[in-house]
Amino acid sequence: MQTAIPALFMRGGTSRGPFFAEADLPADTELRDRVLLAAMGSPDRRQIDGLGGANPLTSKVGIVRPGSEPDVGLDFLFAQVVVDRAFVDTKPNCGNMLAAVVPYALETGMIQPQGDTTTVRVLTRNTGMKCDITVQTPDGRVRYDGDARIDGVPGTAAPITINFLDTAGSVCAGLLPTGRVRDRIEGIDVTCIDNGMPMVMIRASDLGRTGYEDVAALSADEALKSRLEKLRLACGEAMGLGDVSANTYPKMCLVAPPRAGGSISTRTFIPHAVHDAIGVLQAVTVGTAAVLEGSVAHDVAAPASGRVRRTSVEHPSGEFSVELELDPVDPQRVVRAALLRTARLIMRGEVMIPASVWKGNAR
């Protein structure tokens, strides 16, 4: 006996995973999380008995429902399913999976197309963040093919525009949760910041690294990872997050001067695995730190000027561009962040869950 749950398997940005309608999942949170663990095959480092791809970027789930507020079209709950532990984290956001929310809702009839393009306001329930997402819908259908290219995904696809409305203090109490643009913690200068994702910025050179190491080299650097984890735990306390030992945030980010024509070079830990690229909201947060005078990211970033600044964040597999608009009265405040992503429907059908986990509509 197994329980069948309708789902669409989708790529959003540089991540992928199953998307579910909230109504098709258990209402009880603990039972829902057990269902998601079973769906993804966790805990198991290979996730051999589920849909997970044995990597944090491919062990993600989207849960969607019609909007619960008058100005909101869709509510989205992101779930990070830990690969090798029985843990589902719904506290942080994921801007990559966010790119697939409107296509999912259009594909399932949860919302209707508006014309050649469809713009929907989406509330991310993880943190209360809102954004306007625009998808191409010629002839009333989601368009996936196009000329937009994002690093970390082969080929090109139709562009999806995400305009974040308010990202500062998504999980923490504010943009700079310690109240300072720079702190010295565990003997290291850091910038603790949350503009969509709680992060800690560290100059790679302060840890005896270049910041240009490849993913394999950093993944094998146990001494560095041990030091970063000790620093992460201390920064989590300083950021008002308490004991973060079991959390997937704050993310740790090594920054260095750009070397491929961008604004800043990064190597990000999420929080223990080395990211092959960089997450959407991580890029927004790094870009924000880069324009804040006094931050460790600003120390190494290529200089930029103007009220609207395009920040190119270099990462191991390319670059990620973010458009940041600064407050004309307070240039240390970012009032808007916009970026481009792509998404694709990979498969539609049903995810089969052992009835011993949830009977649901077992057959």
* Structure token pair of residue 322: 């973010």
The structure tokens listed for 175 are: 């943009």
CA atoms within 13 A on the CB side of 83: 16
Check if CATH label 3.10.310.10 holds for domain 183-334. yes
The region that residue 73 occupies, defined by phi over 0 for left and psi between -120 and 50 for alpha, beta otherwise, is alpha
**Could you give the CA distance from residue 87 to residue 247 in angstroms, rounded to a whole number?**
9
pLDDT at 33: 98
The answer to pTM > 0.85 is no
Q: What is the dihedral of CA 357, 30, 20, 36, to 10 degrees?
A: -50
Q: Evaluate whether 315 touches 268 at the Cβ level (below 8 Å).
A: yes
What is the dihedral angle through the alpha carbons of 297, 300, 304, 307, rounded to the nearest 10 degrees?
Answer: 10
Asked, colleague to colleague, whether 2-159+343-354 and 183-334 share their fold, the answer is: yes
Tell me, what's the pLDDT at 336? 83
DSSP letter, residue 274 = B
Residue 54: the pLDDT is: 96
| pLDDT score at 327 | 84
- Name the DSSP class of 229: H
Which DSSP letter does residue 303 get? P
What does the domain layout of the chain look like in residue ranges? 2-159+343-354, 183-334
Classified by CATH at the fold level, domain 2-159+343-354 comes out as Diaminopimelate Epimerase; Chain A, domain 1 (3.10.310)
pLDDT of residue 362: 61
Walking along the chain (363 residues) 10 residues at a time, the average pLDDT comes out as: 96 96 97 98 98 96 97 98 96 92 98 97 93 96 94 93 87 94 98 95 98 96 97 98 93 97 95 90 94 94 85 93 86 83 97 95 62
